[in-house]
Amino acid sequence: MSNATQGMDVGYVAHLARLELTAEETALFQGQLDQILHYVEQLNALDVAGVEPTAHAIPVYNVFRPDEVGRSLDHDDVIANAPSAANGQFRVPKIIDQ
Amino acid sequence: MEYEATIGLETHIMQKTGTKMFCSCRHEYGAAPNTHVCPVCLGYPGALPVLNEKAIELCCKAGLLLGCAINPYSKWDRKNYFYPDMAKNYQISQYDQPLCLGGQLEVEVDGAMKTFAIERIHQEENAAKNTHVAGGSLVDYNRAGTALMEIVSEPCMHSAADALAYMNALKQIMQYGGISDCDQEKGQMRSDVNVSVRPVGQKELGAKVEIKNMNSFAFIEQAIGYEIDRQIAVLEGGGRVAQETRGFDADRGETFTQRTKEDAHDYRYFPEPDLMPVKISAEQVERWRAELPELPAQRRARYVSELGLPEYDAGVLTSDKAVSDWFEEAMRHTDNAKAVSNFIMGEMLRLLSGQGTAISESQVTPEKLAAIIALIDAKTISTSAGKQVFEIVFNEGGDPKTIVEAKGMAQVSDDSALEGWADEAIANNPKSVEEYKAGKQGAINFLMGQVMKASKGKANPGAVMQMLKQKLDA
Ligand SMILES: [Zn+2]
C-alpha cells in the first residue's frame, strides 16, 4: 500500500481484467482510482505495531461441510445457459495457450 | 566444464473424496459431461464455497505421511486468471499459509538412500477438462472444483533418476495412505517439472525452465534428460538459458518454448473473502496421526524382520499396495510366507501382466493360494504340480483340492509304487550305479530323473531320493 500515491498502472490492470479502455477512459479512471487509493492511504497514519494481520475481520474458523453428495444441477438447465454447446459440453472459442 | 542439474517438482494429486472441494457435487471420473455441476463449481454469481472436511483431512494426512508440520493456521487465496477451465476466473488456492509445511521423502536411487526435502503442500481446486475440436474448444466442468493438492519439493534433485524415484515413492505413499489412487491415466497425478543447470561450484542456481503438466513418468524422465542436455549445450555455446515455460513433445522426445518470462502470468493473489481460515489443533493432528496406515517402507521392513523374507521379495511385494494387501490377506490363511511370495512374484504377476488384470480380480484368491501351498507342504502334490494347479485356477477357477483329485495330480510317496520304479532305474542304468558307488554323488540325480520320468512326474522327489540311497548304499 505504501506506493499507492505513486498511482496504479490502470492500463496494466485493465489488461489483467481483460477490459478494453479508451485513452480518455484510462485517464479518467486513473484520476478516480488515485483519489480512492489516496483516501485509503489515510490508514497508514495508524499505529498497527501490536495488531496481528488477518485475512478476515471476524474470528470465525473451520466452516466445514461433510463429504456427502448433494444435488447437482440438471444437465439440460446447465447447457441452457451456454451461449454455444456441443456434445453436452460448453463450446468456447478455440483455446491455444495453456 | 562440469555442470550440475537442479530439479524441483510441483506435483498435483487429486484426493479420493466423494464430493468436490467447495461444493457437494459428486467427484467421479468418466461421468457424462457437465452432469456433476452446480452454481458453485460453475462460478455463478453469488454462489458460496464451503470447505470439504474430508479433503482437509486427506491433505493433512498426506502431510503427516511425508513428515510435514501441520500449519496451526492456514487460509485461502484467489489466484486470478482468465481461462475457460475455471468458470469463476479465479482458482481458490493457498498462497502464503498452506495446510502443510516442510517434510521429506526418503528414497533409494541406484542403491543409495537419498532424502528429498518437501517445501509445502497446499490445497486447491482442479480445473475443468477442455477438449479441442475443429473451430473451437469444449468444456466439461465435472472435474472443475474437485479437490487437488499440490506437493512442492525443494529444488533438491539432480537427475532424472532422482525425480523418478521421488515420484514413484510419492505415488506409493499416497496410494498406501488412501489419499489418492494416483491413476495417471485419469489425471490424478500430474507434475510441473523445474529444471536448471549451473557449472559445478557456482552458488546461484541457473535460469529455471518449467515443463508443465506432465502425467507420464516415462515422459518426465525423457523431458528432464532432454532439458539438461539442451541447457548444457546452450551454456557451452556461450549462450544464456532463458527462464521460460516449455512443453514436451512426446513424439519427438523434445521440449519446446511455450511461454517466456516476459508474458508470464500475474495472478494477483489475494485472500479469498468467501472462505474462513482453518485452525488445526495439536490434538486433531495426533488423532490423524494415529489413523495413518503402515507405509511401504515399514511393511518392507516387517516382511524381512517378522516373516523372514529376503529384501528382494519384500521390495517386490510392497511396491504395489494392491499386491501387498493381497499378500497380507494370504498370510492370514498360511504361515508359509516364502511360498506365497514365490507364487506372487512368479506365477501371479506373470499371468496378471499377460492378461492385463488387477490382482484383486484374479480367480486365484488368497485363500485358494493358501490351499495350494497347504497341498504342497503336505507333500500331496509337488511344487511343479502346484504351479499347474495355480494356472488352472487362474484361468478357469475352481477348488485346488478338487482339481488335484480330478486330474490325478497327487504325487506318489507310496513305497510299493516307488520301489518298482527305483528297481527299474537301477537295473537299466548300471553305468550310473557304478559311478555313484565309485563316489560320484551326482550320478544319483540321473537315476532320480529316470524314476520321475517313469512316474510321469508324480513321484515324490524326496521319497524317491531316500529310496534310491537306501538301495544303493546298502
Ligand atoms: Zn458443484
Show Cβ contacts of residue B214 under 8 Å, excluding neighbours closer than 6 positions. Answer: B190, B191, B192, B193, B220, B223, B248
pLDDT confidence of residue B373: 96
Residue A5 pLDDT class (50, 70, 90 cuts):
very low
pLDDT confidence of residue A81: 84
Q: Give me ligand 1 centre to Cα B91, in Å.
A: 14
pLDDT at position A4 over 50: no
pLDDT confidence of residue A2: 41
pLDDT confidence of residue B439: 87
Residue with cell 551326482: B442
CB-based contact B339:B378 (threshold 8 Å) = no
Surface of B (78-117) touching A: CB under 8 A? 80, 82-84
- Taking 3-state DSSP, the helix, strand and coil percentages for chain A, each rounded to the nearest 5, stand at 40, 10, 50
**SS3 at position B279:** strand
CB-based contact B78:B90 (threshold 8 Å) = yes
How far CA B467 is from CA of B82, B266, B453, B456, in Å, comes to: 84, 85, 16, 17
Q: Is residue B144 within 8 angstroms of chain A, CB to CB? A: no
Q: Is residue A79 within 8 angstroms of chain B, CB to CB? A: yes
Structural domains of chain A, with CATH: 3-44 (1.10.20)
Q: Is residue B271 within 8 angstroms of chain A, CB to CB? A: yes
A50-86: pLDDT as tens digits? 988 888 888 899 999 999 999 999 999 999 989 999 9
HEC secondary structure over B95-162: CCCCCEECCEEEEEECCEEEEEEEEEEEEEECCCEEEEECCEEEEECCCCCCEEEEEEECCCECCHHH
A20-53: pLDDT as tens digits? 999 999 999 999 999 999 999 999 999 999 988 8
Structural domains of chain B, with CATH: 3-284 (no CATH), 294-406 (no CATH), 415-473 (1.10.10.410)
> ∠ at Cα A31 (A27, A36), nearest 5°?
145
Q: Give me ligand 1 centre to Cα B276, in Å.
A: 19
Q: Give me ligand 1 centre to Cα B38, in Å.
A: 4
Please tell me the distance from the alpha carbon of residue B280 to that of residue B310, in angstroms, as a whole number.
Answer: 42
B298-324: pLDDT as tens digits? 899 999 999 999 999 999 999 888 999
Hey, which bits of B267-346 come out as E strands? 270-271, 278-279
pLDDT confidence of residue A3: 43
> ∠ at Cα B29 (B26, B35), nearest 5°?
50
Q: What is the pLDDT along chain B (474 residues), one digit of tens a residue?
A: 899 999 999 999 999 999 999 999 999 999 999 999 999 999 999 999 999 999 999 999 999 999 999 999 999 999 998 889 999 999 999 999 999 999 999 998 998 999 999 999 999 999 999 998 888 999 999 999 999 999 999 999 999 999 999 999 999 999 999 999 999 999 999 999 999 999 999 999 999 999 998 999 999 999 999 999 999 999 999 999 999 999 999 999 999 998 765 556 789 999 999 999 999 999 999 999 999 988 888 899 999 999 999 999 999 999 888 999 999 999 999 999 999 999 999 999 999 998 888 999 999 999 999 999 999 998 888 888 899 999 999 999 999 999 998 888 887 777 777 888 889 999 999 999 999 988 888 889 999 899 888 888 788 888 888 889 888 887
pLDDT confidence of residue B280: 98
Query: Which of B36, B97, B137 is most worth mutating to test chain A (most A CB atoms within 10 A of its CB)?
Result: B137
Please tell me the distance from the alpha carbon of residue A83 to that of residue B228, in angstroms, as a whole number.
Answer: 46
CB-based contact B448:B461 (threshold 8 Å) = yes
Please tell me the distance from the alpha carbon of residue B280 to that of residue B460, in angstroms, as a whole number.
Answer: 64
Grid cell, residue B352, equals 496378471
pLDDT confidence of residue B262: 56
pLDDT confidence of residue A1: 39
